[in-house]
Amino acid sequence: MVSVQEALSRVIPHDDAPLASPHPIQGPEPPARNPVESTNGFRPPGYDEMPGTSNASGFFAAALHNQNQNLNLNQPHIQQRFPTQLTSSINLDPASSQNNNQNVVTFNIHFNQQLYQIRLPLEATVEQLKRKIFDETSVPVCRQAIRGWPPSKASDAQQLGTRICNLDLAPENELILVDLTDDGFMDTEQDEVTQRVDKNFTIFIQFESDTPLTLSMSGRTTVQEVKMNVCDIKSIPVRHQEWTGWPNGCDNDTTLAQSGIGLSHRFAVRSTERAAPTNSNQHNAFEVVTADSESSADEFEDATDFNNAEYIFTDLPPAQHLNRHLIPNNTDDETSGSTQFVENYKARYGEPCPEFFVGSLESAKQLACLRPAKERKLLAIYLHHGKSILINVFCDQLMKHESIIQTFKEKFVLYGWDMTYESNKDMFLSSLTACISSNASLTARNIKLDKLPAIMLVGKSRQLGSNCEVLSVIHGNIGLDDLLTRLIETCEMFEEQLQVEIRQEDERAARDQVKAEQDMAYQETLQADMAKDAAKRQKEAAQLAERKRIESERAEEDARRESIRLVAQQSLPQEPSEQETGTSKIRVRKPTGDFLERRFFTNNNLQDLLNFVTANGFLIEEYKLISSWPRRDLTAIESSQTLESLKLYPQETVILEER
């Protein structure tokens, strides 16, 4: 349970002592102020009026005041939000820093459609940045939620003592400031909520005409589940429960960890039913119980609408489904969130419905925008919000019309996202900044609830620059004809912008085609020339091989002939002299007409004559030796016969003929 003084200290700005002082900074005592004004409309238990229209509010206020005095207000989880000491040696004046361009970081703070520029040295801390933001925007440090930190350093940026130099920042950074109270958040920082979700909360509930009830529940339990448990135990329908003691800004989907109550807290519940039945036997401690899925559907549909900050938890008729969201809170990533969005959209609104892209925003952008100009489409981003009063008419009538569905299918890549939960909204806005532009993210953030749902039309053309840009935003308060007209007009404008780019792409494609044909013709000619060269080289190689073969054979033949000649020459008998008797003079006429002449003994045989012819280079296998009279082939006669027996003396002329 948080005391009034602690609640006030969370939202009242702290006056900073000079940073150069070596002593811890002590905030001055806050002046006496109206507690309701200082807590932005939140009246803590103990005041004489609580949200609601009941005449018995004075009774509940008095009861809560007396009972809350007995709670332990010094619980270990409730601590002063701001540290009481800062690093005193850091000079926050960038003009006095040396090496100004290297040691100073510039922050462009976007808040309420205005830009605030803050420059700090690298040694400054996140807390000092937030205090500078407070000086510029008057948003207290406890209500500041800063978006845009590097994803890997987002958790470190939540720590007030983290130095700026440890956050991997660029020299100039774009940050978005969110006032947590304005957005319906409690003054509990996200890191504190994370620590409280797994803790047990003890809830003491006082009834007007029944015994008190004590419940023990985890921090993940929602307000709706608490009400259902009271209904199960006390038989008070949800629609007849009037609660006192909830902090301002809670709704059915708020968890106990997010609500801002202490680990022990007291409530008062009054039944607005005249004859409300009670069950006095069931008043013992109740352990953690989740919402009963088999509970009456009427009780769910009659649950209190938590959007009205002035009459929280009163008996108001519901305007929409209890589960207004299409994407559960704290979804893991864009792909799973997109899948759940499409499934829940079809389940809630039925067929026919537009064809939504399932996947990440980056994938949808690539499919729509990062294509050739002829194939390029517009990216239509449908922004849904479960708390908008326009969603039923927009989704059940406009988005189901055949012309709208056909237009989206032919001209757009349609991507849907649910902005109901702040966690999913922040994830999507960060993705918009990364995938599209910071202007697109700011445009989506600045769309008011009464204008949602909305459709952002995003395109990419050379006239718009190198990045995608938002061409048009269509709000949900529009008729069917106007919606169709806006979609068609935006398509026509976008297609007109693409004409120059399409013409340039066609010219480039024609040039590429001519170049490709020239390259192909060149390659064909080159291949033909290469084939000719290869055939020529192959022919030359064959001729060379043939010459070598012939030369080799010729050399072998010459060697063989020379060997035969030498043998024949060595076998010749000694030639007799002219004075010796018994000799024969043989003349051999060669084919050329020349003569070979030698003397033989008449007793030399025919083989000696043949050897003489062979020794002069005329092999008997190639030539035949013919005698003149009688004409006969001497090579065909027995070579052992003597010249005398063959009548080849005293002289004879024989003829060499080729065979």
Enumerate domains of the chain plus CATH numbers: 104-179 (3.10.20.90), 193-271 (3.10.20.90), 334-504 (3.40.30.10), 583-658 (3.10.20.90)
| 266-287 tens-digit pLDDT | 899 988 876 434 443 433 333 3
* Coil, helix or strand at residue 380: strand
Task: State the pLDDT at residue 118.
Answer: 94
pLDDT of residue 156: 84
Q: Which ranges of 12-87 does DSSP label H, i.e. alpha helix?
A: 35-38, 57-68
pLDDT number for residue 580: 87
pLDDT over threshold 70, residue 67: no
What's the confidence (pLDDT) of residue 552?
92
Average confidence (pLDDT) over 529-548: 93
Question: Residue 201's closest CA among 211, 213, 216?
Answer: 216
State the average pLDDT over residues 52-61.
40
Mean pLDDT, rounded, of the chain: 76
Please check the confidence at residue 11 and state whether its pLDDT lies above 50: no
Q: How sure is the predictor about 249, in pLDDT bands with cuts at 50, 70 and 90?
A: low
**Distance between first and last Cα of the chain:** 137
Q: How far apart are CA 203 and CA 163, in angstroms?
A: 39
Positions of E strands within 263-326? 264-271
In terms of pLDDT, which residue wins out, 501 or 64?
501
Q: Which of 251, 228, 222, 258 is nearest to 241 (CA)?
A: 228
Two tokens at 539? 């022919």
pLDDT in tens, 118-165: 999 989 999 999 999 999 998 888 888 888 888 677 778 888 889 999
Amino acid identity, position 284: N
With a CB cutoff of 8 Å and minimum separation 6, the contacts of 516 are none
CA distance 567 to 571: 6
Give residue-wise pLDDT tens across range 595-629. 999 999 989 998 988 999 998 888 888 888 888 87
DSSP 186-216: -S--HHHHHHHTTSEEEEEEEESSS--EEEE
pLDDT at res. 44: 39
pLDDT at 307 over 50: no
